[in-house]
Amino acid sequence: MSQQQPDEKSVVVVGPDGRPIGTVEVTADGATGREDDPSRLIEQPAKVMRIGSMIKQLLEEVRAAPLDEAGRQRLVEIHRRSVDELEDGLSPELRDELERISVRFTEGTTPSEAELRIAQAQLVGWLEGLFHGIQAALVAQQMAARMQLEQMRNMPALPPGAHPEPGKTTSTGQYL
């Protein structure tokens, strides 16, 4: 267990059911101090969200319909293009991770329906994990900002002695 610095605080990240799902160490300036902060790894969040939604919808549609060979070939092309487009919106670290987990189908062969559905489900699962990581990071950042605001509210507006109390005189220095 790491030792906290005096200017660090621990923020508990709570899931939708109210149970704690983790903690994040936050410095006085509101930074999480984590190099793997998912919100820093998405270069084009809107693009990633759009493609993720499209892939999820595609998987739902494919589950309901039997695919002939032409349909499977088309789905292979959509899968490849989706992964390529996703990679454009990600940091190099996430690109490498996506490359490692995504299925690259062999040119000239037609995968089975099951192989295609598994590849799509794997991609959707990875995206959902990414989105949950982003949500957790955003919640931690909001908590850090809230803590900063509380600290600012508790600080005196002016340094001690700048506002003399009523009826009290203070020396401001020698005058001629």
Q: How far is CA 80 from CA 35, 63, 117, 128, 149, in A?
A: 29, 19, 13, 18, 46
3-class secondary structure, 23: strand
From first to last of the 176 residues of the chain, give the pLDDT tens digit: 445 455 566 666 665 666 666 666 666 555 555 554 555 667 777 788 888 888 888 878 877 778 888 888 988 888 888 888 888 888 888 889 988 988 888 888 889 888 888 888 888 888 888 888 878 888 888 888 888 888 878 876 656 555 555 555 555 656 55
The pLDDT of residue 141 = 83
Lookup: tokens for 52: 């993720």
Output the six-digit token pair for 89.
Answer: 């919106």
Neighbours of 48 (CB within 10 A): 23
pTM of the entire predicted model? 0.58
Instruction: Give the integer Cα–Cα distance in Å for 138 and 118.
Output: 30
User: Under DSSP, is residue 8 helix (H, G, I), strand (E, B) or coil?
Assistant: strand
Helix (H, G, I), strand (E, B) or coil at 149: helix
Q: How many helices (H) and strands (E) does the chain have?
A: 4, 2
Closest CA to 6 of 22, 27, 24: 27
Tally of CA atoms within 13 A in the half-sphere of 62 that contains its CB: 26
CA distance 13 to 36: 16
DSSP SS3 for 81: helix
Letter for the amino acid at 103?
A: V
Sign of CA dihedral 27, 31, 32, 33: negative
Residue 114 φ then ψ, to 5°: -60, -45
What one-character DSSP code corresponds to residue 135? H
